Amino acid sequence: MLNLTVMQTASNKSEMITALREIMSASSILSEPEELAPYECDALSAYRKLPGLVLLPDTVEQVQAILKLCHARKVPVIARGAGTGLSGGALPREDAVILSLAKFNRIIDIDADNHTATVEPGVRNLAISEAVSHLGLHYAPDPSSQIACTIGGNVAENSGGVHCLKYGLTVHNVLGLKFLTIDGEMIETGGQVLDTPGFDLLALMHGSEGLLGIIVEVTVKLLPKPETARVVLAAFDDAEKAGKAVTNIIAAGIVPAGLEMMDHLAIKAAEAYAQAGYPTEAEAILLCELDGTEAGVNEHIATVQQLVTDAGASECRSSTDEAERLRFWAGRKAAFPAVGRLAPDYYCMDGTIPRHRLAEVLAQIGQWSTEYGLPVANVFHAGDGNMHPLILYDANKPGELEKTEEFGGRILELCVEVGGTITGEHGVGMEKLDQMCVQFGAAELQQFFSLKAAFDPEGLLNPGKAVPTLHRCSELGRMHVHGGKLPHPELERF
Amino acid sequence: MADIDLTNRLQKAVCAAHASGQPLAITGSGSKHWYGRTSSGKPLDVSGHRGILNYQPTELVLTARAGTPLSAIAEALDEHRQRLGFDPPYFGDGATLGGTIACGLSGPRRPYAGSARDFVLGCRIINGSGEIMRFGGEVMKNVAGFDVARLMAGSLGTLGVLLDVSLKVLPHQLAEHTVRLQANYCEAIAIMNRWAGTPLPITAMAADGQHTYFRICATPDDAQITADKVGGDFFEEGLSFWKDLREHQLPFFDDERPLWRLSVPAATPHPLLSGTADADWFIGWGGAQRWLKSDMPAKTIFQAMRASVGHATMFRGGDRSGEAFAPLSEPLLALHRRLKQAFDPAGILNPGRMYESL
């Protein structure tokens, strides 16, 4: 169990700074409130907290020394990449240091023969693809923040993107990692090979949200860029028909590179923002991207057009050139900022469901939307069942954030109820701790803690994130009651 | 196929073993009993725990009990023109899903489609304390909690008894061709890596010193065009060739000497070890997996591979009381021991099957 009692006082904070100055330059140690302010939140800006200190090391040796120091003094360490995370995984605490990996931005090696790149953790996702583009290669996972987010953060969150259905998540595209444990020990797992002896620590590190180790080097797999890509854009007067189209495509044995759905509100917002040519009267649109060789793509495009028409599409267009393909995507890619113009704030959810439950889940969200008086725009990675309902609200109205959080929590719990999960790709972080109590029982949570302790016995790495304490779960007011039984009958209720 | 749930019985057995400290040797059909180190526990037979629990073709997900025969799964998938993406070797007719995931082995398709662990979406296990737990789920994307489900793949039953496993499945492609070109090993490595850098729909590449083999799976036109591009001759026995390679039934594998599996970056030059003949080698996975038949001492091979960037496994044969997998560095081994302790505090699950001290 996490059991942190160390709180930094002014005097031991200054002692800490003195010790850190032995390790790194003063300019890499931020301690004044105005310097700390930019680090007070990640992209989930509803939660904010000033950190005790922010450290910006630029060598692995410095990181090792920092970890040894923090370990000795029992100071919590929160790793941070670009701060684009959407679940508060990098949310500071005042008794902790933020360990920024931003200066680790070098591409160490590109191996053109073996199709791998070895990079430091602060290298931006898109920078990898840019660096290998001349070789006809790319790094496949493309989270929407790919211009800014770092590969270290991608590993920590096991980031997805719109091309997951065909190309997988970060875990499917990383071959090797070097990471430091809390005592500064370097662990190397994987490399340029397709497997590694022993336990699959590589898989375990993905999505571990900075709780197990500090990633200092990442080796990724590079894939050949597809010869061509084309998109089918189909409009529907009913979301259920769009869902049927998705089912038809998968049943026909086609694995699209991307398969995205947007609902009426999202379509209208995106069209107003990006002028992508979307039919704004549609209840749902589907974007189906096929990539590969010319011959393969053209054969599949014809099939997909037929399948969406069979499902009842009111309109169906296929991109004929690259400019048109990009225009079809422009609306989807701008969906979040576009929806952001509809209300002062929006709250992005991230549940995954079995696809065949889509219609009922959307209907329930619609009903709650009316009850709460909070509009919802739905953007959906339809191929892999990952939903992003965007709840529109106004944080300046008293009580509206709390209402939004409650609504969001119910959506996530609904995802679990229909056989899905509370987070597809954004992580648990600080945000979804309560829903973790719904997703997992006490035995699993306890197992997570003992697994964590195998890496970090004192619980100093990103404490309080990703896995809720059993105590928290037992105190949680909003618990799901299945068949009259509380999820944790073995726990005392307070 | 019978649908039998032995969860309670298996849990009782693990609880009893946990209480008494009696080591257990988890067994399925025994098709891969020779893999890893010899483990001397009391047999815990999970092969009776079988049945497909959920298969919805258009969700691309299948969940089955660990004792379900792979053949039954393949049959169910085939009815809907789908398959297991990682092309698992059976190494015996009775091969079960649990054993397949616990061994974490993948077939010729692995570099292009992914490995056993890549396709694991979730599982239910009994840990070494006899607790039943579920990790992951039945959806493609899921980052709630540590990824214990994928950690189970390849852990050889040392962390938990698999009860059921959910896998992502893939559709069959419409057309499949195999072509082969004459090439020695050095030429083959160069050719395979050249094609690996292109977006052609190639799903397997291998070389036997005389020929390089390419399997192409795509839509009919695409498959034809790709075959023409790669060149060489159509290989009529392609279908059986890839299956025999996967199952180690090619003549190459019929040998008394220990069989080594060397995992290396695909473009690593041949041969990896001096003092070997071309006939001792077979190259799979487009160069990333090299099979070697050799009587060389295990230590020599492990050491030679440590100097390179790959690793060696004594795959079949040899002294199974020594280490079968590449020795881990001290900090890494220590972390493994702590993880083992976290899942199996009494050390009763397949002790010694992976490493002597685990």
pLDDT digits (tens, 9 = 90+) for A266-310: 999 999 999 999 999 999 999 999 999 999 999 999 999 999 999
Residues comprising chain A, all counted: 494
Q: Summarize pLDDT for A36-65 with one digit per residue, the tens.
A: 999 999 999 889 999 999 999 999 999 999
Task: Yes or no: say if B201 and B166 are a contact pair by the CB < 8 Å rule.
Answer: no
Kindly state the average pLDDT of the residues A209-224. 98
Give the per-residue pLDDT at A3: 36
pLDDT band at A12 (very low <50, low <70, confident <90, very high): confident
Q: Tell me: pLDDT of A478 over 60.
A: no
Q: Encode pLDDT of B332-349 as tens digits.
A: 999 999 999 999 999 999
Three-state secondary structure call for residue A184: coil
* Residue among A388, A394, A351 nearest A373 (CA): A394
The pLDDT of A409-425, averaged and rounded, is: 95
- Least CA distance to B327: which residue of chain A? A197
Report the DSSP beta bridge partners of residue B62.
Answer: B55, B167
Find the CB nearest B335 among A187, A226, A422: A187
Check B132 against A135: CB less than 8 A apart: no
* Identity of the residue in B198, B328, B343 whose CB atom sits nearest the CB atom of A198: B328
Of B304, B342, B298, B300, which is closest to residue B323 (Cα–Cα)? B298
Which residues, numbered 285 to 344 in chain B, qualify as contacts with chain A under a Cβ-Cβ cut-off of 8 Å?
A: 285, 288-289, 309-311, 313, 325-326, 328-329, 331-332, 335-336, 338-339, 341-343
Q: Which residue of B has its CA nearest to A195?
A: B263
Residue B2 pLDDT: 82
Query: CB–CB of A269/A310 below 8 Å?
Result: no
Taking the C-alpha atoms of residue A439 and residue A329, their distance in angstroms, rounded to an integer, is: 33
Q: What is the pLDDT of residue B102?
A: 98
Can you tell me the distance from the alpha carbon of A301 to that of A249, in angstroms, rounded to the nearest whole number? 11
pLDDT over 80 (residue A393): yes
DSSP structure class, residue A353: -
Closest CA to B119 of A151, A203, A433: A203
- Whether A483 shows a pLDDT value over 70: the answer reads no
Cβ distance A203 to B198 less than 8 Å, yes or no, reads no
Nearest to B263 among A111, A195, A224 (CB): A195
Q: Which residue of B has its CA nearest to A172?
A: B118
What does the block give as tokens for A226? 């597809």
CA distance to partner chain A, nearest, from residue B64 (Å): 16
Percent above pLDDT 90 for chain B: 97
Average pLDDT over residues B97-109: 98
The whole-model pTM stands at: 0.95
Selecting from B58, B265, B338 the residue whose C-beta is nearest the C-beta of A454 gives: B338
Averaged pLDDT, B257-277? 96
Q: Is the dihedral of CA B193, B194, B196, B197 positive or negative?
A: positive
For residue A381, what pLDDT band results from cuts at 50, 70 and 90? Answer: very high
A477 band by pLDDT with thresholds 50, 70 and 90: low
- DSSP 3-state of A245: helix
Tell whether B131 is within 8 A of chain A (Cβ). Answer: yes
What is the C-alpha to C-alpha distance for residues A185 and A63, in angstroms, rounded to an integer?
A: 10
Residue B321: is its pLDDT beyond 60? yes
Residue B180's SS3 state is: strand
Question: B141 vs A384: CB contact, 8 Å cut-off?
Answer: yes
The residue behind tokens 């306890």 is: A446
- Residues of chain B contacting A424 with CB distance shorter than 8 Å: 139-143
DSSP state of B86: T
pLDDT tens per residue, range B30-87: 999 999 999 889 999 999 999 999 999 999 999 999 999 999 999 999 999 999 999 9
Task: Choose the closest CB to B144 out of A353, A386, A428.
Answer: A428
Taking only residues 92 to 121 of chain B, the set having a beta carbon closer than 8 angstroms to any beta carbon of chain A reads: 104, 110-111, 114-115, 117-118
Neighbours of A75 (CB within 10 A): 22
Give me the pLDDT at residue B19, please.
98
Residue-level pLDDT at A354: 95
Give the pLDDT confidence score for residue A487 in this predicted structure: 47
Helix (H, G, I), strand (E, B) or coil at A187: strand
Best to test chain B binding among A159, A447, A448, A455 (most B CBs inside 10 Å): A447
Residue A5 predicted with pLDDT over 50: no
CA B148, B153, B155, B160 torsion: positive or negative? Answer: positive
Per-residue pLDDT of B203-259, as tens digits, reads: 999 999 999 999 999 999 999 999 999 999 999 999 999 999 999 999 999 999 999
Residue A134 CA to its chain's centroid (Å): 29
How far does the CA of residue B51 sit from the closest CA of chain A (Å)? 19
Pick from A116, A211, A443: CB nearest B133: A443
Residue B163: C-alpha distances to residues B5, B55, B103, B149 (Å): 9, 16, 15, 12
Contacts of B128 in chain A (CB under 8 A): none
Interface of B with A in 257-286 (CB under 8 A): 263-267, 285
* Chain B residues near residue A436 by CB distance under 8 angstroms: 144-145
Comparing CB atoms, the residue among B153, B264, B309 nearest residue A200 is: B153
Q: How many CB atoms lie within 10 A of CB A66?
A: 24
Query: How far from B11 is each of A413, B14, B247, B343, CA to CA, in Å?
Result: 29, 5, 33, 15
Cis peptide upstream of residue A463 (ω within 30 degrees of 0): no
Say whether B331 and A185 touch across the interface (CB within 8 A).
Answer: yes
Residue A1: is its pLDDT beyond 80? no
Pairing of strands A97-100, A77-80: parallel
For residue B94, which of B124, B70, B130, B121 has the smallest C-alpha distance? B70
Confidence of residue A8 (pLDDT cuts 50, 70, 90): low
What's the whole-number average pLDDT of chain B? 97
If DSSP codes are grouped into helix, strand and coil, which group holds residue A142? coil
Which token pair is B325?
């997998």
CA B345 to chain A, closest CA, distance in angstroms equals 10
Does the complex come out with an ipTM higher than 0.95? yes
- Give the pLDDT of residue A352: 96
Name every residue whose Cβ is closer than 8 Å to that of residue B253 and which is 6 or more positions away in sequence: B259, B282, B291
Q: With beta carbons under 8 A apart, name residues in chain A contacting B142.
A: 352, 421, 423-424
Q: Which of B56, B80, B120, B146 is most worth mutating to test chain A (most A CB atoms within 10 A of its CB)?
A: B146
Q: Which class for A252: exposed (0-12), middle (13-18), buried (19 or more C-beta within 10 A)?
A: middle
Model pLDDT, residue A144: 87
A258 in Cβ contact with A168 (< 8 Å): no
3-state helix, strand, coil in chain B (%, to 5): 30, 25, 40
Is residue A38 within 8 A of residue A49, CB to CB? The reply is: no
For residue B171, what is the nearest residue in chain A, using CA coordinates? A253
Say yes or no to pLDDT of A342 above 90. yes
Interval A107-162: pLDDT, tens? 999 999 999 999 999 999 999 999 999 999 999 999 988 999 999 999 999 999 88
Residue A200 in 3-state DSSP?
coil
Task: Name residues whose C-beta falls within 8 Å of residue B236's C-beta, 6 or more positions apart in sequence.
Answer: none
pLDDT at site A491:
45
Q: Which residues pair with B161 in a beta bridge?
A: B126
Helices (H), A357-489: 358-372, 400-417, 433-439, 442-455, 470-475
List chain A residues with CB under 8 Å of B331. Answer: 181, 185-187
Q: 163-182 in B: which are within 8 Å (CB) of A? A: 170-174
B338 contacts in chain A (CB < 8 Å): 453-455
Model confidence at A479: pLDDT above 80: no
Strands A53-55 and A97-100: what pairing? parallel
Band of residue B195 on the pLDDT scale cut at 50, 70, 90: very high
Phi, psi of B166 (to 5 degrees): -105, 130
The alpha carbon of residue A181 and the mean position of all alpha carbons in its chain are separated, in whole angstroms, by 23
